[in-house]
């Protein structure tokens, strides 16, 4: 049977992709951010997951405001990245696992989640930056797993509640663990934390709120479900709604997890950037 071994959170801002392309790992501005990731590389090299479920939000490449699914799951054999205009080099197509994707979709529809299934899906920086952060070299990395992208709507209101996101993750974890093949799976929750890129509050970062979320999501994620969508925007900024993806990841891990690595750094491109490496106990 399939086993969910853990989850990882990270920011996915485009500037990180540019910093990777320019190899700015020792640059004074970037070093405190990149220094958080070697423990994750070591854990992934030791665990060698077969599958990565990459939960992200699309920024207009795969979907746009005229058609924005609440939850979309990729069901393709590979996923292509395209130029978004940020100056980030496009990455090669990422291998998928369509068989497992359809198993997830079937299981979650049985749990009464309405899923948009995508047999073609262009993936943007929300997906590609975490892949580059965690598996340097990508296709040249011998441990690169097959990827399943899951996109959540954090852009077009009404967005899902934090409770719905956590419940989504629980259903996702159930579907993953019921897969009959012997594969190891890691789940990524990407984006955030607090940031606002436009309007009167452009540059808004809420360190206290971010750190509270990073603490609560580990052992008491249910507490975060009490935060309303409007309160989330108020506290974390209009783009801080990306906490939704962290909640989806956390729900998939089950009740008990250990924190193996943790980092919080501000500012990175006007964002509160948090990283957590969580290992499942069961």
Work out the mean pLDDT of the chain and round it to a whole number: 94
pLDDT at 282: 72
pLDDT at 158: 95
Does this model's pTM top 0.85? yes
Domain ranges of the chain: 3-275
User: Choosing from 195, 204, 219, 265, which is the catalytic residue?
Assistant: 195
User: Choosing from 12, 59, 103, 125, which is the catalytic residue?
Assistant: 125
Residue 30 has pLDDT above 90, yes or no: yes
In the structure, what pLDDT confidence band is assigned to residue 152 with cuts at 50, 70 and 90?
very high
Residue 218 has pLDDT above 80, yes or no: yes
- The mean pLDDT of 68-92, rounded to a whole number, is 90
Residue 93 has pLDDT above 90, yes or no: yes
The CATH homologous superfamily of the domain defined by 3-275:
LigB-like (3.40.830.10)
* Residue 103 appears among annotated catalytic residues: no
* Residue 195 appears among annotated catalytic residues: yes
Residue 19 has pLDDT above 90, yes or no: yes
DSSP string, the chain: --EEEEEEEE---HHHHHHHHTT-TTSTTTHHHHTTSHHHHHHHHHH--SEEEEEE---SSS-BTTB--SEEEE-SSEEEE---SSSPPPPPPEE--HHHHHHHHHHHHHTT---EEESS-EE-HHHHHHHHHHSTTGGGSTTPPEEEEEEE--SSSSPPPHHHHHHHHHHHHHHHHT--S--EEEEEEES-SS---SSTTTT---HHHHHHHHHHHHH-HHHHTTS-HHHHHHHH-TTGGGHHHHHHHHHHT-S-EEEEEEEEE--SSSS-EEEEEEEE--
């Amino acid at each position: 049977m399939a086993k969910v071994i853990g989850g990882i959170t990270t920011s996915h801002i485009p500037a990180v992709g540019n910093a990777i392309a320019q190899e700015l790992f020792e640059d004074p501005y970037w070093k405190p951010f990149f220094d958080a990731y070697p423990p994750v590389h070591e854990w992934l090299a030791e665990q060698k997951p077969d599958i990565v479920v990459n939960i992200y939000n699309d920024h207009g490449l795969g979907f746009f405001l005229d058609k924005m699914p609440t939850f979309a799951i990729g069901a393709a054999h590979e996923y292509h990245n395209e130029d978004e205009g940020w100056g980030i080099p496009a990455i090669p197509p990422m291998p998928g696992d369509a068989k497992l994707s359809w198993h997830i979709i079937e299981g979650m529809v049985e749990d009464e989640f309405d899923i948009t299934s995508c047999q073609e899906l262009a993936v943007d920086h929300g997906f590609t930056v975490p892949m580059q952060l965690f598996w340097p070299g990508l296709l040249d990395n011998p441990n690169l797993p097959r990827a399943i992208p899951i996109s959540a709507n954090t852009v077009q209101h009404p967005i899902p509640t934090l409770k719905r996101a956590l419940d989504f993750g629980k259903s996702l974890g159930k579907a993953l663990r019921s897969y009959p093949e012997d594969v190891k799976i890691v789940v990524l929750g990407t984006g955030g934390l607090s940031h606002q890129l436009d309007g009167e509050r452009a540059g808004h970062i809420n360190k206290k709120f971010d750190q509270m979320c990073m603490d609560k999501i580990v052992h008491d994620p249910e507490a975060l479900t009490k935060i309303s969508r409007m309160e989330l925007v108020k506290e974390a900024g209009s783009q801080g709604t990306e906490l939704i993806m962290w909640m989806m990841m956390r729900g998939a891990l089950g009740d008990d997890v250990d924190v193996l690595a943790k980092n919080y750094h501000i500012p990175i491109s006007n964002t509160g950037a948090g990283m957590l490496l969580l290992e499942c106990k069961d």
